[in-house]
Amino acid sequence: MDYAASILSRLPGAASRGDHGLRQLLSELRAYLPSDQLQQIINAYRFGARAHEGQKRRSGEAYISHPVAVARILADMRMDAQAIAAAILHDVVEDTPTALQDLENEFGAEVAALVDGVSKLDQMHFTNRAEAQAESFRKMMLAMIGDIRVILVKLADRLHNMRTLDAMPREKQSRIARETLEIYAPIANRLGINRLKIDLEDLGFRYLHPYRYRVIERTLRRSKGNQRQIVRTISSRFEQALTDNDIEGAVIGREKHLYSIYKKMLQKKRPLNDIVDVYGFRIVVNDVNACYRVLGIVHGLYKPMPGRFKDYVAIPRLNGYQSLHTTLFGPKGLPLEVQIRTTQMDRVAESGVAAHWQYKADDQTTGTPQRRAREWLSRLVEIQQQGSSEEFLENVKVDLFPDKIYVFTPQGDILPMPKGATAVDFAYAVHTDIGNHCVAAKIDRNLVPLRTQLENSQTVEIITASNAKPNPNWVTFVSTAKARAAIRQYMKQMRSSESRDLGKRLLDRSLKDLDSSLRKVGKRRMREALDELGIETSENLFEQLGLGERLAPLTARFLLGLQVENQEEAPAASLTIAGTEGLVVTYGKCCYPIPGDDIMGYLSSGRGIVIHRNNCGNLSNFRKHPEKWITVSWEKDLEREFSTQIRVGTINRTGVLAEVAANIADAGSNIEQVAVADRHEDSSDLTFVILVKDRIHLAKIMRSVRNMQNVLRVSRDCA
């Protein structure tokens, strides 16, 4: 009787529980774990089997068969005892009455933390399913940041669930498959675990697009016989060439997996037969020097395709993957895709971070999957601090699909970036502060706009200014999760700061109208009022006032203990506009107010104050809420420019638009936007959104345009 069998004989009821994988699991673990650690696995099995007693999977099997199968997937990756134990116990907290503390008491804090990281948040209440899934994913990813084994257990759990998805209804199969392809397979790829990635992709493809899967599978099966002969012939030629050059190595004919064929069909818009007839080979040798020698040998056997060589040995992929890739013209012009790598690179290519399971080891070598995984996880720490769970999930999805390019810093350091990344993405990749204060960029020593997309091998330099701030428009063109999250977070902070300043000004002005002030109200009365209103701090109150969620005149009377029976009786607040209030004071796009116009402010909940001209046609919509009106006036000698809109009627003649635009520019204004508002047989109405300092500046521009030969009329638009 072997060791595994002797253990099974001492596990009463193992067979009756329907677990047929335990014997294989123990046999696999025995190959690399010492006996004392095997005992921990046995204890975990006993605990899990007892907790899941009587539970069945949808397929009818005893539930314990699932966690044991998950543990076997991890055993195949040579994971440590704690991870194997956590795999066996990963569902006991979620699906049984067992408490997390019970696991900690029985198996220690490390195993309990792994189980907790994998568990869903079923005990919490969410407004919708999407939020629950996003929060669950966020929790799992944050646990992974603490211990990367969390995600390995989760990936193994997902893989076994995908292998047994037949038992689920079609709708659920489709949803789970999509989630697998969008999140879990990319995570496996990001961590360099190729074997998991391939299985997850093929299974996800099978259940998301069953018909397409069957068509490709049938085609592959039909062509397999002919393919085998071609692969054998070419493999023999490669092996003979290695022998002739005294190089030890193995040649493996690679089988293409279905999802990679499907993706190539989509990306290259090529028919199935063209993709199937591409043959793949992997040549594994002992050292890096031999890799480059073999590259020369295969190029001597078959002609290489121009532009199809990739050196991932000198510059590894983001997930630590290293290999030489080349495509050759094979017999009868058949494309041959060849990968050349060392034994260690091959192990890393298949197992990624799981190639070594000492996750807490101080291996700081730049190219290791552990180091690269840690760098990615450190970026996730920054991203998760900014925004909601659903935003975090979307940001991580963006980060999981990096089609890579490599650019250089001015110091010569290589920085991997996703394809489509801009100079702003680069700035945030260097450091968040660099991104927040960038004002310009140089690519290969030439000044370029910040929205410029980067290309391979460029040297990028970022120019910063201490007083610079992120532009909200950057969000529309950045492509990395870190940049997008950082910009949004900065905007939220800036908006909060500006709304607090504005709210304090509004409240103080309203108190002055009542012959009081914030200083006279005092801290004690302010604290009492905040408690009555259910607000934590005065800063929160100022922010609500600035965002229009609370009215300053009513709040002022409340602070002073004055009653207002009718909101319309409350005196209107007043405010002087400097044009530098930022995001919490905006200017109506319906009437484009500028200094010199008679204006009023309207408190819009969540947006702050919106400024309108007194003759704006939309003001009739606000008459029902006079308590939200604010008397506003312009400060004198404003330095900034404001947007406004003019309508120009012109004779239809070639070049008239350019003439009007040139005239506006000569009058000292920048054009932000131009459109043809109305076109007739002989004339056209053009609308220009231009930047002006005040009404005097605008009048000068309109007079200049009106005097043009082909201009019929000029007016200032107002809704």
Q: Provide the annotated active-site residues.
A: 94-95
Instruction: Compute the distance between CA of residue 403 and CA of residue 383 in angstroms, rounded to an integer.
Output: 20
Pair type for strands 585-587 and 608-613: parallel
Q: Please count the other Cβ atoms lying within 10 Å of the Cβ belonging to residue 409.
A: 15
In whole angstroms, give the CA distance from residue 10 to residue 607. 69
**Sign (positive/negative) of CA torsion 540, 544, 546, 550?**
negative
The token pair at 381 is 């720490």
Q: Are residues 227 and 280 in contact, defined by beta-carbon separation less than 8 angstroms?
A: no
The secondary structure element, H or E, covering residue 482 is: helix 481-513
Return d(Cα 237, Cα 302) in angstroms, integer.
11
Give CA–CA dist 411/466, Å, rounded.
22
- CA distance from start to end of the chain: 91
Query: What is the C-alpha to C-alpha distance for residues 705 and 713, in angstroms, rounded to an integer?
Result: 9
| Class of residue 689 by CB neighbours under 10 A (exposed 0-12, middle 13-18, buried 19+) | middle
Write out 147-196 in H/E/C secondary structure: CCHHHHHHHHHHHHHHHCHHHCCHHHHHHHHHHHHHHHHHHHHHCCCHHH
Structure-token match 């489509």, residue found? 420
Q: Rounded CA gap, 152 and 469, in Å? A: 40
Residue 643: partners with Cβ closer than 8 Å, 6 or more residues away: 587, 592, 672, 689, 690, 691
| Nearby residues of 116 by Cβ (< 8 Å), 6 or more positions away | 93, 100, 143
Q: Which residues lie closer than 8 Å to 159 by C-beta, 6 or more apart?
A: 70, 73, 196, 199, 200, 203
Which burial class, exposed, middle or buried, applies to 324 when counting CB atoms under 10 A from its CB (0-12, 13-18, 19+)?
A: buried
CA distance 506 to 550: 11
Residue 238 burial (CB < 10 Å; 0-12/13-18/19+)?
A: buried
Quick one: 602 exposed, middle or buried, by C-beta within 10 A (0-12, 13-18, 19+)?
A: buried
| Cα(96)–Cα(90) distance, integer angstroms | 11
What distances in angstroms separate CA 124 from CA 94, 120, 158, one per listed residue? 12, 9, 22
For residue 139, which of 130, 129, 128, 151 has the smallest C-alpha distance?
Answer: 151
Consecutive H or E run containing 254:
strand 249-254
Integer Cα distance of 112 and 105 in angstroms: 9
- How many other C-beta atoms are found inside a 10 Å radius of the C-beta of residue 654? 6
